[in-house]
A and B are shown apart, each in its own frame.
Chain A
Amino acid sequence: MLPSFNYYQPASLQEALTLLASLPRPKKLLAGGTDLVPALRRGELYPANVVSISGLSEMKEIKMERGLILIGALAAFSDLVCPPCFEGAHRLVAEAAGQIGGPQIRNQGTIGGNIVNASPAGDMLPPLVALGARVRLCREAGERAVFLSDFLGDAGGACIAPEEILVEVSFPALPVNAAGSFVKLGRRNSLAISRISAATVIIYDSYGRIEEARLALGSVGPKPVRVPSAEALLKGQKPAPDLLEEVVASVGEAVGVLLGSRSSASYKKAAVRGVARQVLQKADPRFMNSGEING
């Protein structure tokens, strides 16, 4: 038995927003339940009111519109694994979603929940940060859109009011001459704490040089971090193995500064270099030495 609370199942987003505005705190939104239910059970949360939005099918849609990819916050991870809009350069979204938990968790957990709970090991976050995603938040009185990187707090957690609902995540579709990839260390859910991940997006000019590169790392801090020094090294260059070594070294340095003297620092510094190397090689095979096979 879980702690006592009142439970509501609104039939529309509007109804949910009205409820959230009027119900007293502490209140909690329920989407997939994969984080909320265990937290209730462990007694970490004791809301007086739980508002379930899991049935709002209008928030499950995934579509492409005017150059933007729009993902409803209630899309389950397994809904993100197959759609055609996550092929090609966008496949990092599908790759990250496909590696979360086990299949059951992927059927239940939602992208919105993963973002709002903002776990340092929230696997969807590095790819979305690399893609320059924004989130749209609604409340009864209006709505706002913010960059995901600003929505995630510097001390962990997400900047969301108890009256707000994250309804959608979006990012600009990448041009045709672009690549992207995602890599994660560690496999099972229970290893979440030590799990380091990296996502990259590379946009090329018409000569095959890197016009813009974005590299986002997960689990090295309270929220995913971009690595500007590494991104600057890549800009304007042609992908090649020696360039990769320079980039990987600068990633190691940047992470060293971030982690300081924390006890996990030396492990993470080494691990992050490996993950950065892999993610770039996966995005663009020109980073590989001839004969090297990316496992």
Chain B
Amino acid sequence: MVEMKPFKIISKVNGSTVELGVNPGRRLIDILREDLGLTGTKEGCGEGECGACTVLINGRPVNACLVLAPEMNGKEIITIEGLTPEDELHPIQEAFLEAGAVQCGFCTPGMILTAKALLDKNSDPDEKAVKTAISGNLCRCTGYVKIVAAIRLAAAKLAAREGSI
């Protein structure tokens, strides 16, 4: 057995600088959940199939279960906790509630972050664009119809908010 040396990382997680020595044999999802207490990121399959562990790295959705912890170094990471200041709901979260797109909620953090990355690029996605964007996020409960509706509702909410500023 090789003795693993901790690897020093500096990254930004939800806007704050994080400096840690991480064991290279851990994954980003382990650091987020166990060391940083960010348990909004869920682990489903642990194999890159379900998207429950989706976080944004430098603005792009990725599966945190497929990222080795030391790979966080120099990256900017957003988890569901970092979407808005504490106690506030992001318009995408509001839309998910209003559209009834949350049942057990296990897929929801990943879905919402995927939706955020989509809406940052495309402020008015059609149904096909939404379905393509969430094709890496599995949901066992909702049947997806309400999730797609929620993301389109979120787009409308964000547009209205833009318009009112």
> A residues near B, CB below 8 A?
1-7, 9, 30, 33-34, 37-38, 40-41, 48, 50, 52, 54-55, 78, 101-105, 107-108, 189-190
Contacts and interface: CB of A to CB of B under 8 A. Distances in A.
A55 B12 CA distance: 16
A189 B136 CA distance: 10
Interface string B20-54: 00011111001000000000000000111101001
Contact of A108 (B7, B62, B114): B62
A6 B2 contact: yes
Given A5-B4, A34-B48, A78 B60 contact: yes
Contacts of B3: 4
Which DSSP category, helix, strand, loop or mixed, fits chain B's interface? loop
B46 A4 contact: no
Contact of B5 (A6, A54, A107): A6
Contacts of A105: 48, 63, 66, 136
Given A52-B71, A103-B132, A2 B62 contact: no
A188 to B, nearest CB: 8
Interface string B57-80: 100111101111011011000000
B60 A2 contact: no
A101 B68 contact: no
Contacts of A107: 57, 60-62
Contact of A6 (B4, B47, B62): B4
Contacts of A102: 51, 135-137
18 contacts: A2-B68, A5-B25, A9-B73, A33-B67, A38-B46, A41-B46, A41-B47, A78-B60, A102-B137, A103-B114, A103-B135, A104-B62, A104-B114, A105-B66, A105-B136, A107-B61, A108-B62, A108-B63
A9, A52, A103 — most chain B CB neighbours (10 Å): A103
Nearest to A78: B60
Contacts of B54: 104
A150 B48 CA distance: 30
B49 A189 contact: yes
B104 interface: no
Nearest to A52: B71
A48 B4 CA distance: 9
Nearest to B60: A107
B54 to A, nearest CB: 6
B66 A7 contact: no
Q: List 9 A-B pairs, minimum CB-CB distance, nearest first.
A: A102-B136, A7-B24, A2-B25, A107-B60, A104-B136, A104-B63, A37-B66, A4-B2, A4-B4
B136 A101 contact: yes
Nearest to A103: B136
Which DSSP category, helix, strand, loop or mixed, fits chain A's interface? mixed
Contacts of B99: none
A186 to B, nearest CB: 14
A3 B25 contact: yes
Contacts of B7: 7, 9
A38 B67 CA distance: 10
A4 B25 contact: yes
B123 to A, nearest CB: 18
Contact of B26 (A2, A48, A52, A103): A2
Contacts of B4: 4-7
B3, B49, B62, B73 — most chain A CB neighbours (10 Å): B62
A6 B4 CA distance: 5
A160 to B, nearest CB: 21
Contacts of A5: 2, 4, 24-25
A53 to B, nearest CB: 11
A55 to B, nearest CB: 7
Nearest to A76: B60
A52 B60 CA distance: 20
A40 B51 CA distance: 19
Contact of B2 (A48, A54, A55, A101): A48
